[in-house]
Amino acid sequence: MAVTRFTIRSYAQDLRIFPSPAARISLVLLGALLLTFPLFMGSYGVFVACICGVSIISALGLNLLTGCTGLLSMGHAAFMGIGAYTAAILAARTGLPLIATLPLAGLAAALAGLIVGVPALRLKGLYLVVTTLAFQFIVEHVIYHWESLTQSDKGIALPSPDLFGFPLNSYQSYYYVILALAVAAAVFTKNLLMSRTGRAFVAIRDRDIAAEIIGIHMAKYKIMSFAISSFMAGVAGALYAYLLHLISPDHFTFNQSILYIAMIIVGGMGTVLGSILGAVFMVLLPEAINAVSGPLVSAYPDLAPRIGGLSVMVYGLIIIFFLLFEPLGLFGIWIRIKRYWKTWPYTY
């Protein structure tokens, strides 16, 4: 019988993140898969997995801000850029180890989040969107033009990261650090959402004035949301910098901001699993596009300088497709599959 016998019988059980035995078993299997991943995947596969991990952390931050608190931000790549450049400058100029540069990068980005968040308290809806857009472009401009600090186009090269003296100079070893941080970020976000703060965020998203009336301090929670989400973006940016070993201003442009927004839309706004699924999907998508555009370019060689347009177009089509047909994103599809599985053969 496919109808499960699992029911929640106590409040304590309801509060658990993984209440059912099935969930716990799949968690153990997933954990085993993730831990042994580098053993059977080549170097490039592990690199892609590292990018997935970094994107997951960043998408979780953006989902907190946009999906849960309802503050649409088009400047997420700017926060990542601030974190990345902080880590890069600290590591390259002062030789601080990874364990120090990561939190400092997060704090720098969180500070920027405060700078944006405090004035943004008065702004509603689309005015907020354009303000974050303005912030994005100004940060891009500053990164590009403050040559003495950021070396502009030439970029900053980072030394290999090391953990307590243990050098992480292969993607495999770095993968475990990213895996640990991504899991920590996911657990943190899930707990945050299930806590009082998370409920305050969702209340602000749904009806912020009503939330204030029932006693949720809107300013405090909005600023907290900005700060936490930009902290996570900063850490993700720093990890990204260490992963690439060389960062330049065009890693953190407006297009990246749109990419992260696409991640949370495709994955499912306001959910942790949605952020993870969306991030993985949008990281693997360019690989799939490459697989298509490669043969296309060999067949029609004059298409080569224009093929960049194809990936931009596909991103747009994916966003439109998901919004028209599956507004809850991949998370919605996952929920539907689970529901179908749980209630089969009853179709309703």
Partner 1 sequence: MASNILIQLTITGLAWGSVYACIALGFVLIFKATDIFNFAQPELMMLGAYLTFAFITVLKLPFIWAFLAALVLMALITALLEMLVVRPLVGEPVLSVIMVTLGLANVIRGMTGLVWGYEEHQFPAPFPKDPLTIFGVAINQAEIYTIVATVILLVGFFLFFKYSQSGISMRATAEDTSAAFLMGINVKGVFTASWVIASLVATVAGVFMASLTYLDPIMSHTGLKALPALILGGLDSVHGAILGGLIIGVAENLAGFYLADYLGSGINEITAYVLVLIVMMIRPYGLFGTKEIERV
Q: Please give the residue ranges that form the binding site for partner 1 (CB under 8 A).
A: 66, 70, 72, 119, 122-127, 129-131, 133-135, 137-138, 141, 144-145, 207, 209-210, 213, 258, 261-262, 265, 269, 303, 305-320, 323-324, 327
The nearer residue to partner 1, 101 or 271, going by C-beta atoms, is 271
CB of 318 to partner 1, least distance (A): 8
The closest of 218, 214, 202 to 270, measured between CA atoms, is 202
Unique residue bearing structure tokens 């640990």: 180
For 23-64, give the DSSP string: HHHHHHHHHHHHHHHHHHS-HHHHHHHHHHHHHHHHHHHHII
**Could you tell me if 40 and 248 are in contact, meaning their C-beta atoms sit under 8 angstroms apart?**
no
CB of 68 to partner 1, least distance (A): 12
CB of 258 to partner 1, least distance (A): 6
The nearer residue to partner 1, 160 or 248, going by C-beta atoms, is 248
The nearer residue to partner 1, 236 or 264, going by C-beta atoms, is 264
Distance CA 81, CA 87 (A): 10
The closest of 220, 98, 104, 221 to 169, measured between CA atoms, is 98
**Could you tell me if 247 and 88 are in contact, meaning their C-beta atoms sit under 8 angstroms apart?**
yes
The closest of 68, 15, 88, 33 to 244, measured between CA atoms, is 88
Radius of gyration from C-alpha coordinates of the chain: 21
Residues 6+ apart with CB under 8 A from 254: 74, 77, 133, 136, 137, 140
Distance CA 273, CA 263 (A): 12
Unique residue bearing structure tokens 């993730």: 34
Burial of 42 (0-12, 13-18, 19+ CB in 10 A): exposed
CB of 173 to partner 1, least distance (A): 36
CB of 240 to partner 1, least distance (A): 22
CB of 151 to partner 1, least distance (A): 15
The nearer residue to partner 1, 12 or 324, going by C-beta atoms, is 324
User: Containing H/E element for 246?
Assistant: strand 246-247
CB of 6 to partner 1, least distance (A): 33
CB of 262 to partner 1, least distance (A): 8
The nearer residue to partner 1, 33 or 323, going by C-beta atoms, is 323
CB of 311 to partner 1, least distance (A): 7
The nearer residue to partner 1, 31 or 125, going by C-beta atoms, is 125
Distance, CA of 23 to chain centre: 23
* Token duo for residue 97: 């180890």
The nearer residue to partner 1, 156 or 269, going by C-beta atoms, is 269
The nearer residue to partner 1, 68 or 181, going by C-beta atoms, is 68
The nearer residue to partner 1, 106 or 270, going by C-beta atoms, is 270
